[in-house]
Structure 1
Amino acid sequence: MSKRKIMGYYHKDNVLLDGLIYCLFLGGMVLCFLLPRLLFKMEPTDFSCTRSIEGVECMLIRKSQFLKPTEIKIHNPVVVDINNCHREDIFGKHYYDPHCYGSSSAEIRSKGVSYKIKIYGGSDSHKVNSIAREINEFLLSSNASSFHKRF
């Protein structure tokens, strides 16, 4: 790289090459941030349950744009809980988890399983409560043979 001093300012000979490198670097950074969002963009989730003599079985199908759909079978679901990121420390004090950023989620529990499966989550708590209420109505008080919800 050669620099020449012209009237007190330095003049660089290959400014076009430096500009091209800068544009390629900036384009690569933008692509690194946008590509995962485009590839893993979630499409609507299907949640369906069927009631039979053996009990209730639910199927959660999550689809993304370019990946194979994820299917989760839930045997003998009990209830859907709302997780508003309320946590309790060892002294019984309640607080909000700072990692949740104001979002809430609907999580389903099943008999014989110690963990919960997240069905839906987002910052719109009214929508999360509505989805949980609809599923709980089917699980707890309905006699319908099947249930389907797309969200």
Structure 2
Amino acid sequence: MLGRTGIINTLLQDVGLISAPIDWLLFSDFAVIVGLVASYLPFATFPLILAMQRVDPIVLAAARDLGAGFWTVLRTVLLPFTLSGVFAGFLFVFVMVAGSSTEVQMLGGAGASVISVMINDVMRVANYPLAFAISTIVLVIIFGLVLIGNWTVWRACSRIGNNDDP
């Protein structure tokens, strides 16, 4: 799709926007981002959609009836109610991207590197203590993000139920 004879280059040449294939579409950071977004977008959207389905439409209608505009409803009503879905989607994607190396190696070429590729390379040269240290740091970061997100969602949910807060 992103190669010299892929769909995008062929379409751009047929339309006449370019005369020669674009080389930077494949084996670049752009290709890695497109590949990761295409692979992991459902894992971010499904928790968000499920969280948005739990929001009662009457609450949104009441906010609009009280004079709140789109951005105010989004910021003060919809975002606090769907924060758990936003965090779940972020966490799913972050954990999977932290462990994915195939997309990066295939779409980014030999020069592309992420933490999982670095761990694979360190394991390949049999430096197991360094690979363990890097993996432990990644796990601590992921665990810290889970704790921070859990605390944030808990705070947001407690603020929703608290009528004393302005």
Structure 2 length normalisation: TM-score?
0.21
Question: What's the TM-score once normalised by structure 1's chain length?
Answer: 0.23
Task: Find the structure with the greater CA-based Rg.
Answer: 1
- The structure where helix makes up a greater share of residues is 2
Task: Looking at secondary structure, tell me which structure has more strand per residue.
Answer: 1
